[in-house]
Amino acid sequence: MAISEYCNCDVVIAAPNVSVLTAARLMSEYHVGDLVLAEKVERECYRPIGIITDRDIVLGVVAGGDIEPERIQAANLQSRDLVTAKESDDVFDVIAKMRRFGIRRIPIVDDRGLLVGIVAADDLLGVLAETLRDLSQLVAYQSLREEGEFEKDY
């Protein structure tokens, strides 16, 4: 299962030099917990260079006591190098990568490194829960079929 099947293609992006205040307002306006910081490569094509989360803002600005979030660039709050996944990567490989790097969100890129979407741990939990539900129903269906009470052949 390629991760591109499950990524959210509606990504909220911002320039790396946007202020933390603007970043927070964008997150609020679009009801998201992160912004992908990206540079425009060509028309409607962006290369991700970072990610900032609501948690980064809280820990880096609010808890730090900084009273001028409009003067801090979003890129300055990045706590680590950006980790991405390719759109052709397997879902389970992406989950392993997220676990290895301790990240809950990962931008998805194409072969040229251009942004195509983003996946959050919450999204993947939903996919896995549905898959486990389907698998558990398979056990029940087999028992019903053996008893002659289930006519469909899956």
Q: So what's the pLDDT on residue 80?
A: 76
Residues with Cβ < 8 Å from 104, sequence gap 6 or more? 98, 120, 121, 122
Q: Please give the class, per CATH, of domain 3-120.
A: alpha beta
Gap between the Cα atoms of 30 and 20, Å rounded: 15
What is the tens place of the pLDDT at every residue in 65-119? 767 878 888 988 876 789 999 999 999 999 999 999 999 999 999 999 999 999 9
What's the whole-model pTM score?
A: 0.81
Q: Average pLDDT of 5-14?
A: 94
What pLDDT, on a 0 to 100 scale, did the predictor assign at position 69? 79
